[in-house]
C-alpha cells in the first residue's frame, strides 16, 4: 500500500482558491460553514479514512463479500465503519438540522466522499446509497414515511438501496415488470425481481430499505407507468416492531473488482407477503428516481476519480523509489558506469505521471464545480438557481463518464509504471485497475450518458445550457489572457469554435428527423465534448495558480502552483488534440453503424 | 463461455487470399506444405483446442497455479495438453526434420498459435517458451547441447524458459548481476536470482531448461558482458541420469490475470552447486537472446490478438442474443408497445463490435504478415532476404505492442457490451480483460517497444526499412485505386505524407544531438505509426475482399467479404483520424517531460 492516497492540498486548492466554496456561507442554509469549521471536518474525515478505511482496502478485495444461507456477509470492519460514518454525520450530511443532518453543502459532501472513496472504494457505497435512498424519502415521501425511516437510516442502523434494474430490462427501464397491487391498508403487495442491487444486504444492518421501482396494476406501459415504493426487508408492525417482509436475497454477484461491496439479487413477494409503500404520486416514480440518479451519477464520477487518484499516488511513489536504467547522454548512449536513475527521471514515466495527474485533478475539479452548481441551484433563487441547474444538467453526463472512462486510462498508465510488478497482486495498482471498471457501467453506461448528453442536454431549452457553458468558458478565457496564459486561452477559444461547428453539424440531422444519424456517434461526441470541458477546468485552475504565483499569494509551495500550470500545459499538448480526431469522425458523412448490415457482416 | 473463440474463415482468408501463404511451398524447406496439408493441420489443431484447451479456460483462472513446498503446481489438464501438443508437433514445429521438427513455416506456426491462444491463453506459453528456449540451443548451442536437450524438450518432457529479468534490473538488462564462474570441466558455476520467469516450474515436466543470462566473472560492464547459459533444474550426469542442479523455485507470483500460467522466482546456486553451460561465445548472450526475443515479441502480439479475438466473439454472441431497449423511430421517440430489439441493433453496440473487429482482425493480419516476412528472410537469398528482415525488424515493435495496447481497448469495449454482466465473474469478458493486461509489459513494455521503434528501427540503415514499408504501402494504394477503393486509397496516401512529415520533424532533434527531445514522446509516435500500419493492413484486406466480390470468386459468403470492406471503412473513419491528434502532439515545440521539473511538481 502506498503512503498517500489523495492530496489534501489539491482538494483545498480547488475548494477554496478555485471555487471559493467557503463563501457559500453567505447563504443562510450554509451559514455555519466557514473555512475553520470546514477544515476541521475535512481533517476529521481524513483521520477516519486513514484509520478505519485505507488499512482494510486490500483485505476487502482478498476477502470479498459472499452469500451464504440466504444472506450476504461483508468484511467485519464494515460494522465499525458504518457506526463511525453515522457518528461523523456522513449519512445524509446535507439533510436539514431538524432531520438530523448537518446541512452540509453538496460541494463539501463530495470533498469528503472523495477522501473516503480514495481510501477505500469498497466501503463508501453502503453509506452513500443509504443517503441516496433516505434523500428520496426526504424529498418525495409522506411525513409518516420520513418519520419511520430517515432517523434509522442516517443512524446507520438501516441500510438503503435504489432498486431499479431487472433481469429482462437492464438499462431499459421502460421494461420494468415488478408489480404493485393496492391493498386495503393503503400499502401495496409487491412482487418481482431486482438485480445488481448494490449494498442490498449484509450482516451489519438490522433492516434494509429498498427504494423500488414497480408498476401499479393497470398502469400505462413504458416509463409513464412506473411508481416508486419504499419496500423494507423487514416491515414495521403497528406495535413498532419489525417483521419479515418477504424480500429474499437470492444471490450476491461475484465480480472482477470492488469485491467488498456487495451486489445483490433480490426477490420480492415470492410468498405473496411483501408490502411496499408508495412514495409521492403514482406513475411518477421514474421522475423521482432520476432526481436522485443524478446525484448517484456525481457519486460514481467521484468514486472513479478517487480510485484513479489513489492509483496515481501509488504509481508516483513507486516512480520516486525505483531505480532502473539510465538517461541517454548527449552522445545518444547510456553510460553503464553511471548509477541507475530513479524511473521518475525517464520522460515516458513522467508522461504517464502527468497524464494521470491531468486526468484525476481535472476530473476532481469538474466534480466539485458541478457540486457547487447543485448548491447554487438549492440556495439561489430565480434565474441564478435555474441557470445553475441547467449547467449542472449539461455537465452531469461528463461528471459521471469522464472519470469512469479516463480514470481507466489513468490507472492503466499507473499500473504500467510498475512494469511486471503492477500485474502482481503484491502491488495495489491491479486492484484499482479492476475496481474502476464498473464505474463506466453503474448508473447508466457511457453509451447511455452520451445519448443523454447529445440527445437531451445539448438541445434542451434550445441550447440554453450550452450557451451558459460558453459564457463561463469565455470568462475563463478572458482571465487566462489577463494572466499571461495567452497561448492556451487562444487554443481553448478555437476549440470552442470546433464544439459549435461539430454540434451544429450533428443537430442538422436531428432537425431533419434523422435521429439515427444524429445519435449514432453520441459516444464519440461525448469524448469530444468532455475533452473540451476538462481543458476548461484546467485553464480555470491554471489561472488561479498563475495568479497566486504572480501575486506571491501562495498557501502551498511554489512548486505546487507551478505543477498546476505545468499539468494544464500537458493536458493542452497531449489530450486536447484528441478533439481534432473525434471531430473528424463526427463530421464524416458516412454512418456505418446505422446502415443496414446483417449480423453476418460481423 | 461463448460458442466461438476465433474464426477459421478469417484466418484462412488472411493466410491464403491476402498473403498467399500456401505458395511458400515453392521453397524447398517448405515444399511439403500445400494447401491440403495445411488445412488438415489447422483442423487438427482446432479440434485439439476445442477439446483440450477451451473447456478449461475459465477453470484455469479459478484454480490458479500455486506454490507449495518449494514447487509450483499448475492445472491438472496441463499434463494432457503438453503430451498432446508434443504429439501434434507443436513444440518446435519450425525445427528441421532431422531435429524432430516439421519445418513448418513461421506463418503457419502463428496461425496455429492464434487458435491455441484464442482458446486458452493460460496454457500456450508452456509449449511456446519451450520452443523458444530449444530454438536458442538449436541456433547457437554446441552439437552436444543440442543432442542433450532438444529431443526431450520438443517431446514435452522437459520445459524451457528464458531467464532474463532480475529484481534489481527489471527492463534494464545492462544491470544484470547473475554470475558465472568457469570451472575445470568446461561448465560454469552459476549464482543469482531471476524473477518473472514464465513457465519456470511445474509438476508435469521432469526437468526445466533455463536459458539464462549471466556475467562471466570479469566480463565488461553493461550489455557487452552478458553471456547465455543453459542452466537445467536437473543436470545430466555422466551416466546420463539426472541430478539436482541447485536451482530453487523460491515463489510463484500471484497475478491479476493469466493465473493458470505460472510466473516463478528462481534462485540459482544458493548452495554453490549450480552448473550452467555456455551457449555460443562468451559476452554475446544478449545478441543471441534478442534474436529469440523478437520471436517472443511476435508471440506476445499473437497472444494479445487472440485474447481480444475470443473476447470479440463472446461479446458478439451476447449482442446477438440479448434483447434490450428499442430503436428511435422517425418521431425521435421509442415506442414501448413494440418488442424490445436485440442490442446488436443499437448503433453504439455496433460501433463497439466494429471497433473490436477492426482491432483484432487488423492485428491478426499484421502478425501473419510479419510472420511471412520471417519466412522470406529464412528461405529467400540476398537482397530479398535482407529486405524481408529489415521490414520485419521495423514492424516487430508494432506487432508486439499494437495488439497489447489496442487489444485492451477492444476487450474493454467487449465487456461494455455486456453491461453489468460483463463485470461479473459469471461471464467470461472480465477474464480476458484481466488476462490481456500483462501483454503490454511482457518482453519489453510498450514504452520500450516505442523507443525501439523510433530510436532504432526508424533510423536504421538511413531509414531503409521505412523506405521499404513506403514502397509496400504504395503498392497497396495502387491496388486500392484499381479496385475502386479510391477514397481510402487517397486517405492512406495523405497519411503517409504525415508519417514522413512527423518523422522528419523528430529526426531533426536526433541530428542536433538532442536525444532527450527526440525520444521523449516515442510512445505517442508508436500510437501514431501503428495506427497507420494497421490502416495499411486493412486496405490490403479490403482490396482482396473487394476483388473477390467483383470477380465473383468468393470462397466464403458475400457478407463475409462485404464485412471486411465495411470494417476497413470503419477503421478509416473512427481510428485513422487519431493520427491527426498524435501528430499535433508530436509536432508541438514544447517538451514538458524533459524540462527540469522537481518531483514536487507532481
Instruction: Specify the range with the lowest mean pLDDT, choosing from A304-313, A376-385, B168-177.
Output: B168-177
Grid coordinates representing B103? 519445418
* The pLDDT value given to residue B328: 79
Instruction: Please answer whether residues A23 and A376 qualify as being in contact, where contact means their C-beta atoms are separated by less than 8 angstroms.
Output: no
Rounded percentage of chain B residues whose pLDDT exceeds 70: 100
pLDDT tens column, B428-446: 999 999 999 999 999 999 9
* The pLDDT value given to residue B55: 98
Distance CA A268, CA A250 (A): 10
Q: Give the bridge partners for A256, in sequence order.
A: none
Instruction: Please answer whether residues A469 and A526 qualify as being in contact, where contact means their C-beta atoms are separated by less than 8 angstroms.
Output: no
Instruction: Please answer whether residues A367 and A403 qualify as being in contact, where contact means their C-beta atoms are separated by less than 8 angstroms.
Output: yes
Distance CA B599, CA B578 (A): 31
Check pLDDT > 90 for residue B595. no
Question: Could you tell me which chain A residue has the CA closest to the CA of B7?
Answer: A602
Opening angle at CA B545, ends B542 and B551, nearest 5: 135
Q: What is the DSSP string of B556-567?
A: S-HHHHHHHHHH
pLDDT tens column, A336-371: 888 899 999 999 999 999 999 999 999 999 999 999
Chain-chain contact of A602 with B316 (C-beta, under 8 angstroms): yes
* The pLDDT value given to residue A251: 97
A513: alpha, beta or left? (left if phi > 0; alpha if psi -120 to 50) = left
Helix (H, G, I), strand (E, B) or coil at B227: strand
* The pLDDT value given to residue A330: 75
Distance CA A123, CA A119 (A): 9
CA distances from B37 to B31, B40, B44, B121 (A): 11, 5, 11, 26
* The pLDDT value given to residue A239: 95
More confident residue, B148 or A325: B148
**What sign has the CA pseudo-torsion B507, B509, B512, B517?**
negative
Q: Which pLDDT band holds residue A170 (cuts at 50, 70, 90)?
A: confident
Check pLDDT > 90 for residue A169. no
Please state the rounded mean pLDDT for residues A250-279: 98
The total of other beta-carbon atoms located within 10 Å of residue B360's CB is 31
Instruction: Please answer whether residues B183 and B277 qualify as being in contact, where contact means their C-beta atoms are separated by less than 8 angstroms.
Output: no
Distance CA A423, CA A413 (A): 12
A447 in reach of chain B (CB within 8 A): yes
Check pLDDT > 80 for residue B228. yes
Grid coordinates representing B303? 497472444
* The pLDDT value given to residue A381: 96
Q: Give the bridge partners for B577, in sequence order.
A: none
Distance CA A314, CA A422 (A): 10
Distance CA B484, CA B411 (A): 33
* The pLDDT value given to residue A597: 76
Q: Which pLDDT band holds residue B293 (cuts at 50, 70, 90)?
A: confident
Check pLDDT > 90 for residue B521. yes
Please state the rounded mean pLDDT for residues A548-557: 97
pLDDT tens column, A42-91: 999 999 999 999 999 999 999 999 999 999 999 999 999 999 999 999 99
Residues of B in contact with A593 (CB under 8 A): 347-348, 350-351, 354
Chain-chain contact of A334 with B174 (C-beta, under 8 angstroms): yes
B185: burial class by Cβ within 10 Å (0-12, 13-18, 19+)? exposed
* The pLDDT value given to residue B41: 97
- Within B483-577, where are the H helices? 486-511, 515-520, 522-550, 558-570
Distance CA A497, CA A493 (A): 6
Check pLDDT > 80 for residue B330. no
Distance CA B232, CA A571 (A): 51
Please state the rounded mean pLDDT for residues A264-288: 97
* The pLDDT value given to residue B169: 85
Q: Which pLDDT band holds residue B329 (cuts at 50, 70, 90)?
A: confident
Alpha carbon of B218: minimum distance to chain A alpha carbons (Å): 15
* The pLDDT value given to residue B37: 95
Grid coordinates representing B106? 513461421
Distance CA A90, CA A104 (A): 10
Q: Which pLDDT band holds residue B294 (cuts at 50, 70, 90)?
A: confident
Instruction: Specify the range with the lowest mean pLDDT, choosing from B254-268, B289-303, B532-546.
Output: B289-303
Helix (H, G, I), strand (E, B) or coil at A327: coil
Q: Which pLDDT band holds residue A589 (cuts at 50, 70, 90)?
A: confident
The total of other beta-carbon atoms located within 10 Å of residue A130's CB is 30
Distance CA B193, CA B216 (A): 15
Q: Give the bridge partners for A268, in sequence order.
A: A192, A247
pLDDT tens column, B332-382: 788 888 889 999 999 999 999 999 999 999 999 999 999 999 999 999 999
Instruction: Please answer whether residues A372 and A21 qualify as being in contact, where contact means their C-beta atoms are separated by less than 8 angstroms.
Output: yes
Distance CA A505, CA A519 (A): 12
Instruction: Specify the range with the lowest mean pLDDT, choosing from A399-403, A560-564, B492-496, B515-519.
Output: B515-519
* The pLDDT value given to residue A592: 87
Phi and psi at residue A316, in whole multiples of 5°? -65, -45
**Identity of the residue in A316, A332, A425 whose CB atom sits nearest the CB atom of B255:** A425
Q: What is the DSSP string of B298-356?
A: HHHHHHHHHHHHHHHHHHHHHHHH-B------TTSS--TTSPPPBGGGSHHHHHHHHHH
Alpha carbon of A60: minimum distance to chain B alpha carbons (Å): 15
* The pLDDT value given to residue B485: 98
Instruction: Please answer whether residues A325 and A346 qualify as being in contact, where contact means their C-beta atoms are separated by less than 8 angstroms.
Output: yes
Check pLDDT > 80 for residue B331. no
**What sign has the CA pseudo-torsion B437, B443, B445, B446?**
negative
B495 in reach of chain A (CB within 8 A): no
Give the domain ranges of chain A: 445-590
Q: Give the bridge partners for A183, in sequence order.
A: none
Instruction: Please answer whether residues B199 and B266 qualify as being in contact, where contact means their C-beta atoms are separated by less than 8 angstroms.
Output: no
Phi and psi at residue B211, in whole multiples of 5°? -80, 105
* The pLDDT value given to residue B395: 98
A163 in reach of chain B (CB within 8 A): no
**What sign has the CA pseudo-torsion B421, B425, B427, B428?**
positive
Helix and strand tally (H, E) in chain A?
19, 12
pLDDT tens column, A127-166: 999 999 999 999 999 999 999 999 999 999 999 999 999 9
Helix (H, G, I), strand (E, B) or coil at B398: helix
Check pLDDT > 80 for residue A590. no
Check pLDDT > 90 for residue A595. no
A167 in reach of chain B (CB within 8 A): no
Check pLDDT > 90 for residue B40. yes
**Identity of the residue in B437, B557, B569 whose CB atom sits nearest the CB atom of A590:** B569
Q: Where are the beta strands (DSSP E) in B22-69?
A: 66-68
Rounded percentage of chain A residues whose pLDDT exceeds 90: 93
A579: burial class by Cβ within 10 Å (0-12, 13-18, 19+)? buried
**Identity of the residue in A196, A256, A573 whose CB atom sits nearest the CB atom of B434:** A256
Distance CA A378, CA A94 (A): 11
Helical (H) or strand (E) element with B341? none
B256 in reach of chain A (CB within 8 A): yes
Alpha carbon of B374: minimum distance to chain A alpha carbons (Å): 28
Instruction: Specify the range with the lowest mean pLDDT, choosing from A292-301, A382-391, B18-27, B450-459.
Output: A292-301
* The pLDDT value given to residue A527: 98
Rounded percentage of chain A residues whose pLDDT exceeds 70: 100
B9 in reach of chain A (CB within 8 A): no
Alpha carbon of A171: minimum distance to chain B alpha carbons (Å): 8
Instruction: Please answer whether residues A125 and A255 qualify as being in contact, where contact means their C-beta atoms are separated by less than 8 angstroms.
Output: no
Distance CA A24, CA A39 (A): 14
Spell out a b/e string for B296-305, using b for 16 or more CB atoms within 10 Å of the CB, else e: bbbbbbbbbb
Q: What is the DSSP string of B142-196?
A: -HHHHHHHHHHHHTTSEEEEEE---TTTTT-GGG---EEEE-TTS-EEEEEEEEE
Chain-chain contact of B581 with A585 (C-beta, under 8 angstroms): no
More confident residue, A457 or B330: A457
Grid coordinates representing A238? 403497528
Q: What is the pTM of this model?
A: 0.98
Check pLDDT > 80 for residue B590. no
**Identity of the residue in B223, B415, B441 whose CB atom sits nearest the CB atom of A420:** B441
Grid coordinates representing A563? 505543477
Question: Could you tell me which chain B residue has the CA closest to the CA of A312?
Answer: B602
The residues, any chain, with a CB within 8 Å of residue A273's CB and separated by 6 or more, are A244, A245, A246
Chain-chain contact of A519 with B347 (C-beta, under 8 angstroms): yes
CA distances from B576 to A178, B409, B528, B569 (A): 46, 15, 9, 10
β pairing state of A71-73 and B234-236: unpaired
User: HSE-up of B459 (CA within 13 Å, CB side)?
Assistant: 17
* The pLDDT value given to residue A172: 86
Phi and psi at residue A272, in whole multiples of 5°? 70, 20
Distance CA A311, CA A422 (A): 11
* The pLDDT value given to residue A334: 83
Distance CA B491, CA A591 (A): 18
* The pLDDT value given to residue A171: 82
Helix (H, G, I), strand (E, B) or coil at A363: helix
Q: Which pLDDT band holds residue A294 (cuts at 50, 70, 90)?
A: confident
Helix (H, G, I), strand (E, B) or coil at A446: helix
Instruction: Please answer whether residues A93 and A32 qualify as being in contact, where contact means their C-beta atoms are separated by less than 8 angstroms.
Output: no
Please state the rounded mean pLDDT for residues A527-548: 98
Helical (H) or strand (E) element with A158? strand A158-163
Instruction: Specify the range with the lowest mean pLDDT, choosing from A174-183, B140-149, B320-329, B405-414.
Output: B320-329
Q: Which pLDDT band holds residue A466 (cuts at 50, 70, 90)?
A: very high
A602: burial class by Cβ within 10 Å (0-12, 13-18, 19+)? buried
Amino acid at each position: 500500500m502506498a503512503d498517500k492516497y489523495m492530496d489534501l492540498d489539491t482538494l483545498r486548492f480547488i475548494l477554496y482558491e478555485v471555487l471559493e466554496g467557503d463563501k457559500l456561507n453567505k447563504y443562510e442554509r450554509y451559514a455555519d460553514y466557514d473555512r475553520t469549521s470546514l477544515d476541521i471536518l475535512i481533517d476529521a474525515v481524513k483521520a477516519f479514512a486513514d484509520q478505519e478505511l485505507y488499512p482494510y482496502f486490500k483485505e476487502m478485495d482478498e476477502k470479498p463479500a459472499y452469500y451464504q444461507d440466504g444472506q450476504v456477509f461483508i468484511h467485519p470492519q464494515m460494522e465499525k465503519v458504518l457506526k463511525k460514518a453515522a457518528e461523523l454525520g456522513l449519512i445524509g450530511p446535507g439533510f436539514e438540522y431538524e432531520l438530523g443532518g448537518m446541512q452540509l453543502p453538496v460541494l463539501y459532501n463530495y470533498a469528503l466522499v472523495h477522501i473516503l472513496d480514495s481510501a477505500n472504494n469498497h466501503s463508501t457505497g453502503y453509506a452513500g446509497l443509504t443517503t441516496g435512498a433516505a434523500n428520496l424519502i426526504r424529498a418525495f415521501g409522506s411525513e409518516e414515511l420520513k418519520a419511520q425511516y430517515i432517523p434509522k437510516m442516517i443512524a446507520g442502523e438501516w441500510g438503503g438501496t435504489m432498486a431499479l434494474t431487472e433481469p429482462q430490462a437492464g438499462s431499459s427501464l421502460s421494461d420494468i415488470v415488478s408489480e404493485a397491487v393496492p391493498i386495503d391498508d393503503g400499502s401495496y403487495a409487491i412482487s418481482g425481481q431486482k438485480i445488481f442491487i448494490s449494498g442490498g444486504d449484509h450482516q451489519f444492518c438490522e433492516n434494509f430499505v429498498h427504494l423500488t421501482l414497480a408498476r401499479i396494476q393497470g398502469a400505462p406501459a413504458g416509463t409513464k407507468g412506473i411508481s416508486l415504493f419504499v419496500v423494507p426487508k423487514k416491515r414495521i408492525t403497528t406495535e413498532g416492531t419489525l417483521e419479515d417482509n418477504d424480500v429474499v436475497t437470492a444471490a450476491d454477484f461475484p465480480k472482477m473488482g470492488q469485491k467488498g461491496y456487495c451486489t445483490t439479487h433480490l426477490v420480492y413477494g415470492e410468498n405473496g407477503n411483501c408490502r411496499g409503500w408508495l412514495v409521492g404520486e403514482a406513475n411518477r416514480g421514474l421522475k423521482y428516481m432520476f432526481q436522485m440518479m443524478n446525484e448517484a451519477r456525481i457519486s460514481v464520477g467521484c468514486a472513479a476519480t478517487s480510485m484513479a487518484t489513489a492509483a496515481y499516488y501509488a504509481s508516483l511513489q513507486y516512480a520516486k523509489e525505483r531505480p532502473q536504467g539510465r538517461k541517454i547522454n548527449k552522445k545518444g548512449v547510456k553510460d553503464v558506469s553511471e548509477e541507475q536513475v530513479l524511473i521518475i527521471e525517464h520522460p515516458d514515466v513522467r508522461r504517464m505521471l502527468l497524464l494521470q495527474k491531468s486526468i484525476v485533478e481535472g476530473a476532481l475539479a469538474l466534480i466539485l464545480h458541478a457540486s457547487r452548481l447543485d448548491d447554487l441551484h438549492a440556495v439561489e433563487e430565480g434565474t441564478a438557481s435555474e441557470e445553475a441547474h441547467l449547467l449542472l444538467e449539461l455537465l452531469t453526463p461528463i461528471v459521471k463518464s469522464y472519470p469512469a472512462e479516463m480514470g481507466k486510462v489513468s490507472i492503466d498508465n499507473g499500473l504500467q509504471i510498475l512494469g511486471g510488478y503492477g500485474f502482481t497482486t503484491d502491488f495495489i495498482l491491479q486492484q484499482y485497475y479492476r475496481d474502476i471498471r464498473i464505474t463506466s457501467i453503474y448508473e447508466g453506461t457511457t453509451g447511455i450518458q452520451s445519448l443523454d448528453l447529445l440527445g437531451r442536454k445539448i438541445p434542451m431549452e434550445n441550447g440554453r445550457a450550452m450557451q451558459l457553458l460558453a459564457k463561463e468558458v469565455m470568462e475563463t478565457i478572458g482571465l487566462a489572457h489577463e494572466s499571461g496564459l495567452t497561448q492556451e486561452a487562444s487554443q481553448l477559444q478555437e476549440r470552442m469554435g470546433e464544439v459549435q461547428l461539430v454540434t451544429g453539424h450533428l443537430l442538422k440531422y436531428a432537425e431533419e428527423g434523422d435521429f439515427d444519424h444524429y445519435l449514432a456517434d453520441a459516444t464519440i461526441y461525448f469524448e469530444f465534448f468532455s475533452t473540451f470541458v476538462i481543458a476548461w477546468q484546467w485553464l480555470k485552475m491554471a489561472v488561479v495558480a498563475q495568479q497566486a504565483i504572480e501575486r506571491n499569494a501562495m498557501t502551498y509551495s511554489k512548486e505546487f502552483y507551478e505543477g498546476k500550470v505545468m499539468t494544464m500545459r500537458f493536458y493542452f499538448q497531449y489530450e486536447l488534440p484528441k478533439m481534432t480526431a473525434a471531430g473528424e469522425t463526427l463530421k464524416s458523412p458516412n454512418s456505418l453503424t446505422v446502415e443496414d448490415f446483417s449480423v453476418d457482416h460481423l
